[in-house]
Amino acid sequence: MMRIDKRKLGDARGHFSRLFCNQELAGAGLDMEIAQINHSYSARKGTLRGMHFQYPPASEVKIVSCLRGRILDVAVDLREGSDSFGRWTAVELSAENWCSLYIPPGFAHGFQTLEPDVELLYLHSAPYTPDCEGGVNPLDDEIGIKWPLDVTEISPRDQALPTLRNLPRKISPDAATAPPR
């Protein structure tokens, strides 16, 4: 995972910013071709979404940006056998700090809104593939994500996701290293 810091160029009219540049990613040793772009809106502070991923062969890179509001963005390493398996990393994303999070294949992604009226933009290297969708429970005690707020909203589907220990399929580090083309 990598935090991507972006620049806003502003004047009296407002601002301009580049959200994605393949050359800049390549310069950091990362690769991504965009296959799908998604947008989400969360109305309430404390909303929890996740933790979602896609199994191989539809594993994907995600780049997540916060366009409005503020979130704690979290990724969990699901690559069995990796040194960081089961560990989570969190980055605050906001419309003010204007950074993004690059999430490689083999990681589950989720977030909690830190204020109301939050909008996110997601860039995906693979299209949504229902047969390959997966998820791990964001409240799994074994993973132990420290959500900063009480959960005010969570979908029944996310609440019913399996724990890390009970995932129906495993992800090998090799299967998750490269995004599909």
Give residue 40's Cα distance to chain centre: 12
Find out whether the peptide bond into 57 is cis, omega within 30 degrees of 0: yes
Q: Looking at the annotation, which residues are catalytic? A: 52, 122
For residue 49, give every residue at least 6 positions away whose Cβ sits within 8 Å of its Cβ, in sequence order, or none. Answer: 40, 42, 110, 111, 112, 138, 154, 155, 158
Tokens, residue 73: 């963005």
For residue 159, give every residue at least 6 positions away whose Cβ sits within 8 Å of its Cβ, in sequence order, or none. Answer: 137, 139
Beta bridge partners of 181: none
